[in-house]
A and B are shown apart, each in its own frame.
Chain A
C-alpha cells in the first residue's frame, strides 16, 4: 500500500521536474525580472532626479599618443527630492564613481548631493580612432541608464605619409618605378633614422633626404589644422625624413609584398615598418592574375572576366592551346588604348562554365594561349574552378 503511494509521489515529482526544466534552465529574461536595471526605479514617494554636468556626455580627447593615459570627469548630482541610487553598469574603459568606495555596489545620493564620475583610458600600443563608454545605472525613472563616451584618435609617435603601405600600380618589369614617402614625428625635434633594412635589398632602393623647409611648414600646418587646441601644446616639435623608394629593373614578374624596416631614435617608436606591394608585369598582363571561380553552379553555369592588357602591340591574336574541360574561353577586344610608351591594346578574356556541367574541381590547372606578340608568344594562366552540383 505504501509502495503505491510512494510510487505516485515519485511520478508527480518527475512530471513536475520535467515540466519546469525549461523554465529553470532558460537563459532568457524571465517575466518580471528586470535584467537590465538592477537598480529598481523609484516609483513612489519623492522622486530623485539625476543631473550631469557638463551635459554633453561625450568627450573627445582629440589626438593621443601611444602609452598615454587620459581621463575626463563629470559630476552627477541628485537634483530631485528623493534619494538617488547609483550603480556602475557595463563599461569598455575604466570608470570611477568617486564616492563609491571599492567593493561597494550601490551609492545613495541624498537630495542635493553629488559625486564625481571619471572615465579613464590607457592607449597602450594600438593606433587609430577609439570610442569607449561606461554606463551608470540610477533609480531615476527618466534616466535609468546614463551612458558616457570618450573618443579620440591614437597616433603613433612616428608617422608615415602618405601611409605605411606603399602600393605600386602594375609596372613593366624592365622599368624603374619610384615613390616618395615621409617619416616624421610631431613630438620629437631631432628624429633620426639610424638603420634601414629591407626584405629585398637586391631590388628595393631606399634613399633618405632631408625634409625641406617647405615640407616642414606643410606638415606643421597639417598638424595644426587636424589637431585640437590641447594637442598644439603637446605636438610642438616636428622633425622627419623624406625618402625616395625605387625598384630596380628586373623585378621578377608577378605580385610582390616586401618589407622595409626603419630604425629610429624615438624611444616610443624605435621601429617603423613599411609594406611595399605591387605587381611586376611582362608585355602581356592579366587582372586578376588567375582564373578563380570557387563556387559555380553546375546547373546554371557561370562566367568570369579577366582583363588583359598587351603592351607594345595594337592588335594581338590569342589562340587557346590548353583549356581544361568543360571551360570555354573567348577573347573580346575592348579598345585600342594608346599609352605614352607606345601601342597597347586591351581585351576581356571571358571564361565560361557552360550550364549543365558536371560537378568537379579543377585545380592545379592552367589555361594556356599562343599569341603573336613578339615578346610573349606563350601565356599561362593559373586556374582554380569548383563546379558544384546545384
Chain B
C-alpha cells in the first residue's frame, strides 16, 4: 500500500475544511426556523414565521397568506421609539424593517395607516412648527415604505387644516389619503383626499376607505373654512357598495372612539376589517369579532409601538387572521428611516432655526423682570450646592444630546425642552452660541430665573419666588414634566429625589455673598418672522 506524502495533509485538510464550511455555512440565516425543525413541544414551525424574541411567537399556525395587510396608526408624533431610554417599543425604522422582512419572505403586502400622526401639536414639547415638520417627515416615511392608504384625522388637522391639506397635495404616489365622509366646503371634493382606494396585494383585491367622527372635526378651529364632515353611515354605505363590486376584502379605517367604530362596524357588516382608535397605549393581542364572526375589529394602540397584521387566507373557515406585532428590539432601525429621521429631519429643524427662534413667553412665577443667569452665576454664592449639582445627571443633560454625533439632537425642540435651561421662557436657552451658559438642566429650571435674586440676595421677596417654585415638587408635578413615562419609565420620586436634594449645603457668613453680583445682559429676543 503506497504511503501518501505528509505534505498532502494540508491539501486534504483544506479540502475537508471547504466541505465542512459549505455544509455549516449554508444553513438558514434568515428569519424563522429552518424547515423541518420543531419546537420543544413538537410543533413544526409555521412556514411564515418570524423570530420570536420577547416571549411573543408571531404568526403561529399561519401558512403563507394570499395577502397580508400591515395596519398602523396613532403615531402621536413618535417617529422613533417612545422617549430616549432603552428598551422602548416603536419607531418607523423598525416598522420599515418588519415590512421588508415580510416582503423578502414572499408575502404580498399592503400597508395602511389610521392617521393620528401627531397629538395635541399646539402644546407638544416642540411646538406646532416642529409638529408640522414632523408630519411632513412621517408622510415621507410612509411614501418610502410604499404605504397604500392613510386616513385623515381630527388630531392631524390640529396642525392647521390648510397645512395638512397642503402636505397631502404634495404626496406623490403613496400613500393615498382616503375618507368617505369628508368633503370640501359646499360639498365639493376635498383636495388631496379620495373617497376610497383599490389595492392589489398578490391575488387579493382590497378596497380601503375611512370615516371620521364629524363631532371631532367640528371642534377643529379652522375646519369650517376648509371642509365638512357628513354623518358617515350613508357615505360609507355608498362607498361600500361601490367597493364590493370589484374587491375581495373591504377595509374600513375609523377615526373615532370605540363606540363610534363599533356602531359603524355592526351597521355595515359588509366591511370585513375595521380598524379603530385605541383607548390604551398597548393594544389587546386578540381582536374583537363582530357580526357573527365575519368582521374583524381591532386597534394597534398608541405611539406606534405596535402594528397589526391581517392575513388573508384561502380558507372558508378562517379567511382572516390577526397578529399583533410589537416593534421591539428584534427589528432593526432600517437605514432609510434612520437617515430620514436622524439626518434629514434634524437638518430641516436646524435650517428652520426652530430652537433658536422658538417663541418665548414670560415665566409664570418669577420676580418682575427676572432673567435666567445660569448655574455658574449661582455658584458664586452657593458653591457646595453647585458642586453637588455637577455630580448629577442633570448637569450632563445637554451632553447627552451630543454624545452620539450620528444622533445629535441640539436642534430638536422636543429634546431641548428638557435638556437645556429656560427653553421657551423669555431670556432662556436659545442655542449653544447665544446662550452657552444655559446648557443642561440647571438650577433655574426648577427655581425659575434668578437674576433679581443674584443682584439683591437679601431681598426676601425675590428669594421667595425661587423657593415657591420648588415647593412640593412631587405633587406639584415639577419632576414629572421631564421624567414622564416615556422618557423615564423607571422614575420613582422617592428614589431619585434624595440624589438631588440640597438643603442647607451652603452657609452665608461671608459679607460678599450679600452684596449681589452684576450680570451681563441676556441675548435679544428671537426676531424671526412669526408663524
Contacts and interface: CB of A to CB of B under 8 A. Distances in A.
A1 B5 CA distance: 9
Given A26-B29, A167-B221, A287-B162, A20 B24 contact: yes
Contacts of A256: 359, 361
The CB with the most chain B CB atoms within 10 A, among A35, A273, A303, A334, is that of: A35
B21 interface: yes
Interface in A238-260: 254-259
Q: How large is the interface on B (under 10, 10 to 19, 20 to 34, 35 or more residues)?
A: 35 or more
B472 to A, nearest CB: 5
Interface in A309-335: 309, 334-335
B25 A307 contact: no
A361 B351 contact: yes
Nearest to B425: A199
Interface string A6-32: 011101101110111011001111111
B221 A170 contact: yes
Interface stretch (B108-116, B232-240, B276-284, B307-315): B276-284
A189 B334 CA distance: 55
Contacts of A144: 41
A307 B363 contact: no
Interface stretch (B51-59, B197-205, B431-439): B51-59
B136 A37 contact: no
A295 B135 CA distance: 12
Given A1-B6, A33-B40, A151 B529 contact: no
Interface in A62-108: 67, 89-90, 92
Contact of B132 (A33, A41, A67, A292): A292
B221 A135 contact: no
B41 A43 contact: yes
Contact of B361 (A90, A131, A199, A306): A199
B363 A141 contact: no
A200 B362 contact: yes
Interface in B43-96: 51-57
B10 A197 contact: no
A29 B51 contact: yes
Interface stretch (A110-118, A177-185, A223-231, A262-270): A262-270
Interface string A109-138: 000000000000000111001110101000
A305 to B, nearest CB: 6
B364 A197 contact: yes
A300 interface: yes
A288 to B, nearest CB: 4
Contacts of A218: none
B222 interface: yes
Contacts of A382: 529-531
A167 B122 CA distance: 9
Contact of B160 (A15, A129, A287): A287
A1 B41 CA distance: 52
B162 A4 contact: no
A289 B160 CA distance: 9
Contact of A363 (B166, B351, B484): B351
A222 interface: no
Contacts of B133: 294
Contacts of B365: 197, 261
Given A19-B25, A300-B172, A288 B162 contact: yes
A279 to B, nearest CB: 8
A29 B53 contact: yes
A271 interface: yes
Contacts of B122: 165, 167, 257, 275, 277
Listed residue (B37, B39, B281, B480) with the most chain A CB atoms within 10 angstroms of its CB? B39
B484 A147 contact: no
Most chain A CB atoms below 10 A, which of B120, B133, B185, B362: B362
A177 B490 CA distance: 43
A212 interface: no
B371 to A, nearest CB: 15
A386 interface: yes
Contacts of B161: 287, 307
Contacts of A35: 52-53, 55
B226 A129 contact: no
Interface in B273-292: 279-282, 285
Contacts of A12: 13, 16-17, 20
Contact of B21 (A15, A273, A364, A366): A15
A9 B475 contact: no
B57 A36 contact: yes
29 contacts: A4-B9, A7-B13, A8-B12, A11-B13, A14-B17, A15-B16, A19-B23, A32-B37, A34-B39, A36-B52, A124-B493, A126-B480, A131-B280, A135-B55, A144-B41, A165-B120, A170-B222, A198-B364, A199-B363, A255-B359, A257-B361, A270-B472, A273-B477, A275-B122, A290-B531, A292-B166, A307-B162, A363-B351, A382-B531
Interface of A: 1, 4-5, 7-9, 11-12, 14-16, 18-20, 22-23, 26-37, 40-41, 43, 67, 89-90, 92, 124-126, 129-131, 133, 135, 141, 144-145, 147, 151, 165, 167, 169-170, 197-200, 254-259, 261, 267-271, 273, 275, 277, 287-290, 292-297, 300, 302-307, 309, 334-335, 346, 361, 363-364, 366, 380, 382, 384, 386
Q: Which 7 A-B pairs rank lowest in CB-CB distance, beginning with the nearest?
A: A15-B17, A31-B37, A34-B40, A8-B13, A304-B166, A19-B24, A131-B280
Given A32-B38, A199-B361, 14 more contacts: A12-B16, A16-B21, A19-B23, A31-B34, A32-B37, A125-B477, A125-B480, A165-B122, A170-B222, A200-B362, A270-B475, A307-B225, A363-B352, A382-B530
